[in-house]
A and B are shown apart, each in its own frame.
Chain A
């Protein structure tokens, strides 16, 4: 058992599950989407990215790329949220919420790719 592998797998799967939890629900229903879930998804996703930084293997490089995509999507979603609550005069609208949710849906895809890659790597490497 390799502690680095365990922790990375933990964070990448946790990022996916949290993200999915946020995304799950009707897109334009504000009360279906919890800001704490989005927040924790961003933090966990960032940590997962940093854990793979500096990995010189091909798989490591691809994982850095996919988790960077997830970070980017989630941070844009968070900025949109901030715009909705602080800057936009209308406050949070179903329209803005659906944009945030669709951004997080993109992040779910990126996280899923990371997890699939992780599964592939795990099944290929047999030691």
Chain B
């Protein structure tokens, strides 16, 4: 606000000085010009009357000639100064309005208002740069969990959309270029409350700038960035960006998971999209050759995965030479039946429409399905607005890069251990993955899945921490017991235990916990509540371990100890 105020004052200096001078001259004139009182005696206005008269004459209010009717000379002076005063007022007011209309001044007001809102935030927040499909989805998911966000985007259209969106918390937003360090500073990148910076703009260079800025100010703060090229990925990694996400690579991984490891994919889907109904898996038989349209960044990401997994693929590309397409690539877009037939669509198992044009992708899918209805279809959706069209096309799998990035980042923010779990899951064999999936479904029954992490630390689980520290070992299985009845278990399943840099998948209940262990659980939502009870309350933990419900409080403890001593005395003789 200070900034706006000073700007206003500086710009209004000249008009105010003009008003003062005009008033000074007018008043002086009235004092000096001789007048006449009602008796016809010579009379001179004093400063008090002159100031009073000019005050109502200047803004053309005009109460009349006081204290006595004016002489012709005084009237002439009034006429002259009246115009002077009106002009000086018009000039001043005109300056104020011109200033308010000025885009630069409005920008200053917007920025100042934004900075003010950031200063008022009293809780940790994430800075989201870029409010496209990804930013939008992410801000909504974070908001749903009551996590504060701050948004910067260069497009006014998207900022307007944020204002129109129904978001529970008030999200400060600014329409400016996030590559500008001043803008980042306004958005609170130097604030201690900013716990994470998410660079989600569609410009790699801007994302780089944001990530570098954040890492320079606070090297330990979480920075997540999306990227569109290998070079940017390497660059981001070089200065310690915590999590770099390339939508094409991520989706290619995802697709391979579906084709090669359906169990792992199901586990993934269960955890990432709990509302998603995954029981009907449309991708039954996926062994065979694939036709892939488009050999851009997406096509290249697919090619390397397909090669590594020994899956055959035929590419269709408009400009194979420019993009260094592999041998045997068919020339064309893929929207025409001829091209698809040339690529051998009749004996392929599936088609991936991966061009950068949504209309082309839909056309490819429809043409291919006309030739061979039982094809497995995968389509890349580039624009968020085209969602209804893609849904109507009944494609087996739609790749929405915005959604993929948002889900991955959200998972990373909510439960970082989950990422480690998925990374280790990839290395499991199919038998183990199947067992994990069975365990999860048995734990869940038909309820919604919830994922949470428990750390054996003083802050997070005081009872558990104290018990282990004082030499009372606690087994992993104890955490799953129901604190209301230790014979029963709560509906939770430990997925992975992280000890230092080691990860234990499918940890056994007999595993002894150590300080600083991190355990990832999945299960029904109420189970987490019971577990929090166990790890926070000494008495509950003791009951679960020993089955004894011991009274607490100084008096009760004293009575209990006394009683126990007496029993011992009775037993000894």
| Contacts from A to B (Cβ < 8 Å) | 35-36, 39-40, 43, 46-47, 50-51, 53-56, 78, 81-82, 85-86
Contacts and interface: CB of A to CB of B under 8 A. Distances in A.
Interface string B1-45: 000001111111100110011001001100100000000000000
A85 B16 contact: no
B48 interface: yes
B77 interface: no
A85 B50 CA distance: 13
A18 B9 CA distance: 26
Chain A binding site: helix, strand, loop or mixed by DSSP?
helix
A50 B13 contact: yes
B478 to A, nearest CB: 64
Contacts of A40: 24
B9 A43 contact: no
Contacts of B46: 35, 85
A43 B7 contact: no
A39 B7 contact: no
Given A39-B28, A82-B47, A85-B48, A54 B13 contact: yes
B10 to A, nearest CB: 3
Given A53-B9, A54-B9, A54-B13, A82 B20 contact: no
Contacts of A50: 13, 16-17, 20
A66 B46 CA distance: 29
A36 B7 CA distance: 35
Contact of A39 (B13, B47, B49): B47
Interface of B: 6-13, 16-17, 20-21, 24, 27-28, 31, 46-49
Nearest to A78: B47
Contacts of B21: 43, 47
Given A39-B28, A50-B13, A51-B13, A86 B48 contact: yes
B34 to A, nearest CB: 15
8 contacts: A35-B47, A39-B27, A39-B47, A43-B20, A54-B6, A54-B10, A82-B48, A85-B48
A49 B93 CA distance: 20
Contacts of B10: 53-55
Contacts of A36: 31
B6 A56 contact: yes
A46 B20 contact: yes
Contacts of A86: 48-49
Nearest to B8: A54
Nearest to A52: B13
A39 B27 CA distance: 10
Contacts of B20: 43, 46-47, 50
B13 A53 contact: yes
Contacts of B47: 35, 39, 78, 81-82
Contacts of B6: 54, 56
Contacts of A78: 47
Contacts of B48: 81-82, 85-86
A56 B5 CA distance: 11
B24 A43 contact: yes
Task: State the 8 A-B residue pairs at the shortest beta-carbon distance, nearest first.
Answer: A54-B9, A54-B10, A82-B48, A43-B24, A53-B9, A50-B16, A54-B6, A46-B20
A6 to B, nearest CB: 15
Given A56-B6, A78-B47, A86-B48, A51 B17 contact: yes
A36 B32 CA distance: 10
